[in-house]
Structure 1
Amino acid sequence: MDRVPTLDLRRLDTDRDSFVAELGAAYRRFGFCCFSHHGIEAARIEAAYEDFRRFFALPDAVKRGYARGGGRGYVGFKVETAKTSTIPDLKEFWHVGRDGVPADHPRADILTPNVWPDEPAGFRDNALALYATMEAAGQRVLSAMALDLGLGSGFFAPITDMGNSILRALHYPPVRPEDLPAVRAEAHEDISLITLLVGATESGLEILTRDGTWLPIEAQPGVLVVNVGDMMQRLTNHRYPSTTHRVVNPAGEKATASRYSMPFFLAPNMDYLIRTLPGCIDAAHPDLYPEPITAQAYLEERLREIRLA
């Protein structure tokens, strides 16, 4: 049976050529790759998870008081809807964006200050620490992708240093009979360059393979799952595919338990012009996107499709 490979991210420094080749093969085939030894400490992950669990256990009225929109703060249960569906997903979530953006930054209107709850007490510090370590891990993966694409290893660094990257804390509550036929997350693709996911608390993530079957991605302790987003797919002329994935409802007793996960959506700078990489165009692969688009315009287009804008 097909299996998304797990690679040791330390090999980027010790066995670069083989590592990059294996990473590239995984992304071409699956649009997903998993990594061990990614530098995100288990204690950091658990501290953030514990804060998010405590927050989502608060009364709905309290949580709704932190709903701000604009990619910051709380988004309520059954709000986000996949672009291919009319039924909202069975989830609520919290968005953490880039922190400490200067007031005179040219895109300060988009990179707005974060919203922070009054409780739990350590929420802000733990969330920002996790944001920083996930962004650093993402930059390492991007550097390997750049090498596989025939670019310099630093290609992505200057075009993502002030991107509107988002850490999303997700809570999928227990599934109730009255919620059906809705699912925790309907089949969809992600928007940004790449998405990083540190081990979810329960299984349920599945990806759609090229032969049309659903392949489970089990939540393994200490493993980072990184998938291609639509912006990367567009940039690479589908050399790296943005793979459809979903979170299915559990069966039996597991349906009575919550599921938590913490994806990090690593985005390019908002004014970056997404133009197909020349090295990804040839006679057999003509440019599928002859008209470039800025990252912010593309994001806004996609957010409207999923009812978040």
Structure 2
Amino acid sequence: MTARIPTLDITRYDTDRDAFVAELGAAYRQWGFAGISNHGISQELIDNAYAAFRKFYALPEETKKKYHLAGQGGARGYTPFGIETAKDSKHFDLKEFFHIGREIADDSKYRDVMPPNVWPEEVPEFKQYGLALYNALDALGARVLAALALHIGLPEDFFVDKVDVGNSILRPIHYPPITTEDIPNVRAGAHGDINFITLLVGASTAGLEVRSHDGEWVPFTSQGDTIVVNIGDMLQRLTNHVYPSTIHRVVNPAGDAARQPRYSVPFFLHPNPDFLIKTLPGCISAENPDRYPQAITAHGFLEERLREIKLK
């Protein structure tokens, strides 16, 4: 792993809180990215989830397409290869993916914007391990947000009631083997994430690159049990760029490595759909005036961005 993007042990949040919060906040202010180790999510759960996801992607195309829900913008279920396109990119990403959302009651006030999940009947364990990993990452994300809140002078529990019914997404991704030379497409074009924070399980295969303030692309390949966590555009907007949403990409490997598939599972932690993204007063100053005088709901922001990346 590059030495320049820090990895921090999250157990220090309980044993060495002030120093941990200071170091984590500094990492995000500089990079918008950090590694989180000793997170407590079992390797057995991660391995079982990955096995279920791989099993799904090995199904025939026509079988997978049964779980593609037309008109939903990829909100739930399967999105086939060749659709998602990074904002401002001319070429689609070299990936297919599946979206698992929060399980909510049908009478929830958010049901109209948070549709039910669909589950592949051909892989019965997909639901069990997909939901378990979803819930584990949701809980870990809440701990990271608590530390970020403290770093900018907010109460530790500031985000709790803003993300408790968040429209968060677990996205198992399959990047198929690349068999064509000299294509303009990459596995994931340069982009910023839409949400509050993203937690990436399985960045252990090379390919993820983060763009530094100087415009240099810095590889970030995790080691051991590290989960990569980065800031998304909604949190950047809420904090008036105190926490930057850093552009990143997944590049195509060279040589024989390109002929191998790549799998990764990001968890996009979103606020509740009706949360109003309005610049935090504590993040406004003479040196950093309010960049976003117009507030927008989380759902309104999400819809805007889904159109930009061609999912809607």
Q: Aligning the two structures, in what range does the TM-score lie when normalised by the shorter sequence?
A: over 0.9
Structure 1 spans left out of the alignment, 5+ residues? none
Give the equivalent residue in structure 2 for 1:5. 6
Once residues 182 and 137 of structure 2 are traced to their aligned partners in structure 1, the CA distance between those partners, rounded to angstroms, is 33
Contact 1:200 1:259 in 2 (8 A): no
Q: Quick one: distance in 2 between partners of 1:239 and 1:274?
A: 15
Structure-1 residue corresponding to 2:131: 128
Task: Name the CA distance, whole Å, in 2 between partners of 1:176 and 1:263.
Answer: 25
Partner of 2:80: 76
Question: What SS does the corresponding residue of 1:95 show, helix, strand or coil?
Answer: strand
Instruction: After TM superposition, give the deviation of residue 179 of structure 1 in Å.
Output: 7.6
> Could you say which residue in structure 2 is the equivalent of 1:298?
301
Describe how 1:235-274 pairs up with structure 2 within 5 A.
235-274=238-277
SS at match of 2:115: coil
Equivalent of 1:112 in 94, 100, 115: 115
Cα deviation for residue 250 of structure 1 reads 0.4
8 Å contact from structure 2 (residues 202, 263) kept in 1? no
TM-score by length of 1: 0.98
List aligned pairs for 1:1-309, cutoff 5 A: 3-68=4-69, 69-70=72-73, 71-99=75-103, 101-177=104-180, 180-200=183-203, 202-309=205-312
TM-score (norm 2): 0.97
CA contact (8 A) 2:84 2:311 kept: yes
Give the distance between the partners of 2:21 and 2:44, measured in 1 at CA.
29
What's the CA shift for 1:103? 1.6
- 1:194-233 Cα deviation digits (max 9, x unpaired): 0000123521000000111000001323101100000000
Measured against aligned partners, the alpha-carbon deviations of 1:116-168 in whole angstroms (never above 9, x if no partner) come to 00122211000000000000000000000000010000000100000100000
Distance 1:179 1:271 in 2: 44
CA positional deviation for 1:2:
5.5
Rounded Cα–Cα distance in structure 2 between residues aligned with 1:103 and 1:183 = 39
Q: Secondary structure at the match of 1:200?
A: coil
Report the Cα distance in structure 2 between the residues aligned to 1:132 and 1:293, rounded to whole angstroms: 27
Q: By how many angstroms is 1:190 displaced?
A: 0.1
1:66 Cα shift?
0.4
Quick check: 1:199–1:220 contact (8 Å CA) kept in 2?
no
Q: Secondary structure at the match of 1:227?
A: strand
CA distance in structure 1 between the aligned counterparts of 2:124 and 2:294, rounded to whole angstroms: 47
Q: Secondary structure, in 3 states, of the residue corresponding to 2:64?
A: helix
Q: CA separation in 1, counterparts of 2:90 and 2:3?
A: 31
Moved segments of 4+, more than 6 Å? none
Q: Give the letter aligned to residue 62 of structure 1.
A: T
Unaligned runs of 5+ in 2: none
Q: Percent identity?
A: 57
Conserved? CA contact 1:201–1:260, under 8 Å: no
Return the alpha-carbon distance in structure 1 between the equivalents of residues 25 and 66 of structure 2.
44
How far apart, CA to CA, are the structure 2 residues paired with 1:250 and 1:119? 31
Q: How many residues are treated as equivalent by the alignment?
A: 308
Contact 1:205 1:246 in 2 (8 A): yes
Root-mean-square deviation (CA, aligned residues, Å) is 1.1
Which residue identity does 1:224 align to in structure 2?
Answer: I
**What's the CA shift for 1:177?**
1.0
Q: Is the 8 A contact 2:203 2:227 kept in 1?
A: no
Asked if the contact 2:52/2:123 (under 8 Å) is kept, the reply is yes
Q: Which moved more, 1:45-54 or 1:198-207?
A: 198-207
